[in-house]
Amino acid sequence: MKHLISTLLLLTAAVTAQADTKLYIFDCGYFKFSDISMFSLDNSETDVREMFVPCYLIEHEKGRLLWDGGLPIEMAGKPKHEDQPGVEVEYKRSVVDQLADLELTPEDIDLASYSHFHYDHVGAANAFSSATLLIQQTEYDAAFLHPETNPVFTPSLYSELANSSKVFLNGDHDVFGDGSVTIISAPGHTPGHQTLLLNLKNTGKIMLSGDLYHFEASRALRRTPTFNTDQAETLRSIDKVEAMLKDTGATLWIEHNKALADTLRKSPEFYD
């Protein structure tokens, strides 16, 4: 009987933990490209030119995790403008201001992990230096130790993380130990690129893509951007993630898919 009661208590705890996990989506920027050939797509293969740039907060009873940090925070509040020739950007309100709507400050965030260290994913990273950084060893080596050999990185955006507590990952990682939030190693776009698998009580399983794909057409046509650090490795990561999606029944959310993002609830609303 005693055993039964403790088992029931454990089960209740497990259900409660899952019920408590919430996913908040923040609008952390916008891109419009005049030419998408850098994504190895011919401009005639899709008419999508716009991209959403997200940040996410996952609230779990054991802690708060920031996943992806959007465009550089200094861009927030500036009018829409051309950042590079043929690339329009806009970032309306910084993720820090959007967190304040939830009565949170960056210091309230316990853990931070970024799908990869490109400038549209770590734009607010310096503000979250008090959080413990979960990073693939390979991404750390490329972004922090050898950025000069990887021109895709902008070290000034994440230099404050040099002194952050860090957990170095070498593959997949169950963040809270209960299967609700799992970092999936998916290298190739950058040396330590990763995706995030969520298991939410009411919403079900969602895979946040990082930049495994930028467009639905990238997925359908199996195209990898010209600026990826390793094309063959990217294709192996695509195979791994697609097999996982099949096995788990998870829904893939391509993070930059603006048409999808337009249909999703943004913070302060959430998914649980």
Q: What is the smallest separation between the CB atom of 231 and Zn ion, expressed in angstroms? A: 17
Short-list 209, 157, 271, 175, CA closest to 52:
209
Contact window for Zn ion (CB under 5 A) among 66-74, 114-122, 132-140, 159-167: 114-122
Closer to Zn ion at the Cβ: 90 or 211?
211
Q: What is the smallest separation between the CB atom of 142 and Zn ion, expressed in angstroms? A: 16
Confirm if 44 and 35 have CB atoms less than 8 A apart.
Answer: no
Q: What is the smallest separation between the CB atom of 119 and Zn ion, expressed in angstroms? A: 9
Radius of gyration of the chain (CA): 18
Short-list 97, 12, 13, 20, CA closest to 271:
20
Contact window for Zn ion (CB under 5 A) among 2-10, 42-50, 155-163, 208-216: 208-216
Q: What is the smallest separation between the CB atom of 71 and Zn ion, expressed in angstroms? A: 9
Q: What is the smallest separation between the CB atom of 14 and Zn ion, expressed in angstroms? A: 34
Q: What is the smallest separation between the CB atom of 251 and Zn ion, expressed in angstroms? A: 20
Contact window for Zn ion (CB under 5 A) among 1-9, 148-156, 163-171, 203-211: 203-211
Residue found under tokens 């050999």: 149
> For Zn ion, which residue of 211, 244, 253, 261 counts as binding (CB under 5 A)?
211
Q: Cα–Cα distance between 247 and 241 in angstroms, integer?
A: 10
Q: What is the smallest separation between the CB atom of 120 and Zn ion, expressed in angstroms? A: 4
Short-list 165, 190, 198, CA closest to 270:
198
- Supply the DSSP string of 231-242, one letter for each residue: HHHHHHHHHHHH
Q: Cα–Cα distance between 125 and 107 in angstroms, integer?
A: 12
Q: Tell me what percent of the chain is helix, strand and coil, each rounded to the nearest 5.
A: 30, 25, 40
For 139, the 3-state DSSP assignment is helix
Q: What is the smallest separation between the CB atom of 225 and Zn ion, expressed in angstroms? A: 9
Closer to Zn ion at the Cβ: 32 or 62?
32
> For Zn ion, which residue of 27, 90, 120, 139 counts as binding (CB under 5 A)?
120
Closer to Zn ion at the Cβ: 23 or 255?
255
Closer to Zn ion at the Cβ: 120 or 139?
120
Closer to Zn ion at the Cβ: 139 or 211?
211
Contact window for Zn ion (CB under 5 A) among 73-81, 118-126, 135-143, 197-205: 118-126
Confirm if 184 and 241 have CB atoms less than 8 A apart.
Answer: yes
Q: Cα–Cα distance between 214 and 240 in angstroms, integer?
A: 17
Residue found under tokens 């940040």: 55
132 bridge partner residues? 111
Contact window for Zn ion (CB under 5 A) among 41-49, 125-133, 209-217, 264-272: 209-217
Contact window for Zn ion (CB under 5 A) among 8-16, 91-99, 112-120, 220-228: 112-120
Residue found under tokens 């997925």: 219
Amino acid at position 215, single letter? F
- Tell me: does residue 68 bind Zn ion (CB under 5 A): no
Q: Which residues bind Zn ion (CB under 5 A)?
A: 120, 211
